[in-house]
Structure 1
Amino acid sequence: MRVLLPTAALWVAVVGAGFLIVDLLALDESAVNEAFVELRTDTLDPVSAAVSRVGDTEVLIATCLVVAALIWWKTRQWWFAMVPVLALGIQAAVFLTSSMVVGRSRPDVEHLNYAPPTSSFPSGHTGATTAVYVALALLATRIRSTALRVTVQVLCLILPIAMAVSRVYRGLHHPTDVIAGLVVGTTCALIAWNWLPMRDAAERVIRADGRGSTA
């Protein structure tokens, strides 16, 4: 219930926001998308492509599996290692179903790469990247070294923002699509962080025997 209820509430909120933006307000964000087209350069194009690639499904799945395996090996805590995997799974479920219901068209500008068959709202790349890397930022709270912990968390929080900007820059999403993706991904990470009913009790046991650090 710690996962299903908040996920269902998130889905309702996403679909409601989508209908509000697309149908009721009929929000026109073309000026912003065209402004991003004007910013395109031979230098920024490959940079945005590299950032966007980080949010591809196969890349994020591989990232989750590798990180989860490393964390499980380091901490011996499978429930802890599963947080980013669960965050990505929740995001995928919310994104795929809500985007089909909302059905927003992609921006009417040149797309710098292939546009997935899913609709534009919310941004799947932004949501998935946010879910995984915010989850990793939460896991990083276990790192004892302050410098390392802050560095990891800052990098994990910068990447979703870079992804959001990249997706608008490449003409694949409206601004509100990526904003929704950031919100969805962050919420999914928080749901995953609190997923296990016995997590609080497990945390107390770990703190008691001194096995709770990851660095």
Structure 2
Amino acid sequence: MAFLTRYTDDPSAPTVGGALRDLFLRAVAPAVALWAAIVGVGLLIKGPLGGLPSEESISKDVQGLRSPRWDDVTLVWSHIGNTEIVIGVCVVAVALIWWRTRQWWVAAIPAIAIALQATVFVIATAVVARPRPHVPHLDPAPPTSSYPSGHVGASTALYVSFALLAQRIERTVLRRVVTTLFLVIPVLVAWARLYRGMHHLTDILVGAANGLACALLAWAYLRRKRS
């Protein structure tokens, strides 16, 4: 059974209890290890590595690229990763997938992805508490710290899970176009957050890693029968 087609290869419905058990063992428990790794890297960056001073120069170099037009464009891209936008898109997507497939265990995948990502992010950012770059910020600074990027993590978790679900599309060209679109969106959010001075480069990279890992954990959360 291929990883990308695991829900079409085995479309059988799980019990709620079985799905919850699999969710805890195959997604939540690994997410704890993911959180530990992210916190460890963050404390290393903030402590022994001295905050990676070279990243401040990167943020200042990117600041030199700013223009009124790109300020407006990146404002839109940055908003894509806002909590309310991510949650709203996820709710609509879950409802539509459930309605079209009648498979609640598949429809739940994007919700699981962003829930895992958000939990890891919120606790990690509170523990590490890394200051934001010392450049003018073009967005209001959330109460969370700079590390890791929640916008990038949330958008990566959501849209990578959409890209995985898009593998069910039968028409090859349409599947490739939709998959590419979903994978490009988190990249735009990541650039916007760096451009707008809201995160260091490593904050963005670790945020993306968090989102990607949580999307993959969500996709694989349910045990499937091998054909």
TM-score in terms of structure 2 length = 0.87
Deviations 1:40-69 (A, max 9, x none): 001100100000001111111010011111
Matches within 5 A, 1:155-166: 155-166=181-192
Q: Which residue in 1 is equivalent to 2:113?
A: 87
Tell me the distance in 2 between the aligned counterparts of 1:15 and 1:42.
36
Tell me the distance in 2 between the aligned counterparts of 1:140 and 1:17.
32
Following TM superposition, by how much is the alpha carbon of 1:4 offset from its aligned partner in structure 2, in angstroms?
A: 2.0
Aligned residues: 201
Matches within 5 A, 1:1-215: 1-26=25-50, 27-28=52-53, 29-197=55-223, 200-201=224-225
Tell me the distance in 1 between the aligned counterparts of 2:75 and 2:38.
27
Tell me the distance in 2 between the aligned counterparts of 1:76 and 1:4.
25
Tell me the distance in 2 between the aligned counterparts of 1:120 and 1:110.
14
Partner of 1:106, secondary structure, is: coil
Q: Which amino acid aligns with 1:185?
A: G
Deviations 1:86-132 (A, max 9, x none): 10000000000000000100001100120101000000000000000
Partner of 1:24, secondary structure, is: coil
- Unaligned stretches of 5+ residues in structure 1: 205-215
TM-score in terms of structure 1 length = 0.91
- Unaligned stretches of 5+ residues in structure 2: 1-24
Q: Which residue in 2 is equivalent to 1:209?
A: none
RMSD: 1.0
Following TM superposition, by how much is the alpha carbon of 1:3 offset from its aligned partner in structure 2, in angstroms?
A: 1.4
Tell me the distance in 1 between the aligned counterparts of 2:140 and 2:28.
33
Deviations 1:172-200 (A, max 9, x none): 00000000011000000000001123xx1
Contact 2:98 2:104 in 1 (8 A): yes
Tell me the distance in 1 between the aligned counterparts of 2:75 and 2:141.
13
Tell me the distance in 1 between the aligned counterparts of 2:111 and 2:91.
7
Divergent runs of 4+, >3 A? none
Q: Which residue in 1 is equivalent to 2:7?
A: none
Q: Which amino acid aligns with 1:7?
A: A
Q: Which amino acid aligns with 1:18?
A: G
Partner of 1:8, secondary structure, is: helix
Partner of 1:114, secondary structure, is: coil
